[in-house]
């Protein structure tokens, strides 16, 4: 079963390519004609070179690229503009900086993603397998220019030098469009080469009162909260006793958590942090000690254990089927679990008579352990998550001579709270 789960995770990229997420939008072709329709909006880790477009929701999709499209926009989410620009080739690696300032670039036609557009300037981003670059276009110019940033090794010392050319480039825009704003000029001179910071400065150069990108989803949140309940069935194998007796317990489990959706408009990839508690896991063992050591006076042990577990579980979720009101997902997580034992006792019998009761450490285990978690399930109507989970063998023991192995299965229901539910 574990192998099947890992195989499923390995094939996630194939599911990603197969899934479609068409949103209303339009393209502008090289002739300047505007064509309205639907564009497949994917979680592009890099700027796309090809998009899938269809004129109607039920129409046949066409693959369009830089030789077909000058501009495309997915309504309320994102827009891209094709430009022929200089693309820098210097690597940004502070652990291994170049020995000299690298200014090599190549001319290429690419789709630039619009981050902030206003009356004076437009800010873009271009990300490929090498790095992320930002571009700026004075709206009186024909094409954008890259905001250049680099790091290299000082040839006379071990110091790493930042080449912050982008600050000078943005300063020129401030001088041109905001000549009286000393505060903005100081901000630019301390500006980091980061998307949010650059968007903020671009918005101020454009005179915007709200420092935000021009295209954002008003209806989708990247954060959502949930609460849930489940039933967990666990099998405990007590290795410290002869024959390694096993016992199975079923108990309720409650959970709360938060999801961070990588791209709410697409919704394929989600990071989750879940806190959960299961407090009435009751185990009973009936154990016969090794007969070789108990020939003359055979003894038996009755072990009674009540176990509580507090789970802290970061997880990665992927929606392999991702329709608006119905989703199918797989989930992998790593759980840190804290143990408590309200009851942990052993009663020893000889010839049917009780001879001793030890109420402490009948089951010797650590105060905590870690385990893997695998889930699969569905999301209905954006609110209800129904799932089944598997926790493979985890060792609770605290000695080198034996182990306490716990294996669990779980079925549950989560409910997404508030407006963040997608």
Is the sign of the CA dihedral 194, 149, 120, 265 positive or negative? negative
Residues forming a β-bridge with 178:
none
Confidence of residue 118 (pLDDT cuts 50, 70, 90): very high
Query: What b-and-e string marks burial along 200-229, b requiring 16 or more CB atoms within 10 Å of the CB?
Result: bbbbbbbebeeeebbbeeeebeeebebebe
Q: pLDDT band at residue 391, thresholds of 50, 70 and 90?
A: very high
DSSP 5-23: HHHHHHTHHHHHHH---EE
What is the band of 211 on the pLDDT scale with cuts at 50, 70, 90? very low
Q: What is the DSSP string of 352-414?
A: TEEEEEE-S-SS---SEEEEEEEEEEEEETTTEEEEEEEEEEEE---SSS--EEEEEEEEEEE
C-alpha span between 422 and 418 (Å, rounded): 10
Q: Which domains does the chain have, with CATH numbers?
A: 18-205 (no CATH), 223-417 (2.40.160.20)
DSSP letter at 264 equals T
Mean pLDDT, residues 382-408: 84
- Left (φ > 0), alpha (ψ -120 to 50) or beta: where does 38 sit? beta
pLDDT category at 401 given cuts 50, 70, 90 is low
DSSP, collapsed to helix, strand or coil, labels residue 167 as: helix
> For residue 299, what pLDDT is reported?
62
Using pLDDT thresholds of 50, 70 and 90, give the confidence band for residue 332: very high
Whether 127 shows a pLDDT value over 60: the answer reads yes
Strand partners for 111: 82
Q: What is the largest CA-CA distance in the chain?
A: 101
């Amino acid at each position: 079963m574990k192998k099947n789960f890992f195989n499923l995770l390995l094939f996630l990229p194939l599911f990603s390519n197969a899934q479609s997420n068409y949103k209303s939008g339009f393209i502008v072709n090289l002739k300047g004609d505007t064509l309205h329709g639907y564009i497949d909006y994917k979680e592009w880790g890099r700027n796309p070179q090809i998009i899938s477009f269809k004129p109607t929701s039920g129409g046949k999709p066409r693959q369009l690229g830089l030789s077909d499209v000058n501009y495309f926009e997915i309504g309320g989410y994102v827009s891209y503009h094709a430009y022929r620009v200089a693309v820098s080739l210097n690597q940004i690696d502070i652990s291994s900086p170049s020995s000299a300032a690298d200014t090599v670039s190549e001319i290429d036609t690419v789709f630039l993603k619009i981050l902030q557009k206003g009356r004076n300037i437009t800010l873009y981003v271009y990300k490929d397998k090498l790095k992320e670059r930002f571009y700026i276009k004075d709206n009186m110019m024909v094409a954008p220019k890259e905001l250049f940033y680099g790091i290299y090794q000082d040839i006379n010392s071990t110091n790493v030098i930042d080449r912050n050319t982008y600050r000078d480039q943005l300063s020129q825009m401030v001088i041109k469009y905001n000549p009286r704003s000393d505060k903005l000029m100081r901000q630019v001179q301390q500006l980091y080469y980061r998307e949010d910071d650059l968007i903020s400065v671009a918005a101020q150069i454009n005179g915007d009162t709200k420092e935000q990108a021009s295209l954002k989803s008003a209806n989708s949140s990247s954060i959502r909260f949930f609460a849930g309940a489940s039933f967990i069935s666990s099998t405990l194998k007590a290795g410290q006793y002869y024959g390694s007796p096993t016992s199975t317990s079923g108990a309720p489990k409650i959970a709360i958590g938060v999801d961070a959706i990588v791209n709410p408009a697409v919704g394929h990839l989600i990071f989750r942090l879940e806190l959960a508690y299961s407090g009435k896991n009751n185990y009973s063992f009936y154990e016969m000690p090794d007969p070789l050591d108990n020939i003359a006076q055979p003894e038996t042990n009755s072990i009674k254990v009540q176990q509580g577990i507090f789970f802290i579980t970061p997880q990665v979720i992927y929606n392999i089927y991702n329709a608006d009101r119905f989703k199918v997902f797989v989930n992998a997580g790593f759980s840190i679990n804290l143990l408590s034992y309200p009851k942990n006792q052993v009663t020893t019998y000889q010839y049917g008579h009780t001879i001793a009761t030890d109420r402490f450490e009948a089951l010797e285990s650590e105060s905590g352990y870690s385990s893997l978690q695998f889930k699969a399930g569905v999301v209905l109507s954006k609110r209800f998550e129904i799932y089944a989970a598997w926790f493979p063998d985890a060792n609770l023991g605290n000695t080198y001579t034996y182990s306490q192995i716990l294996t669990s299965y779980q079925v549950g229901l989560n409910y997404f709270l508030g407006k963040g539910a997608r």
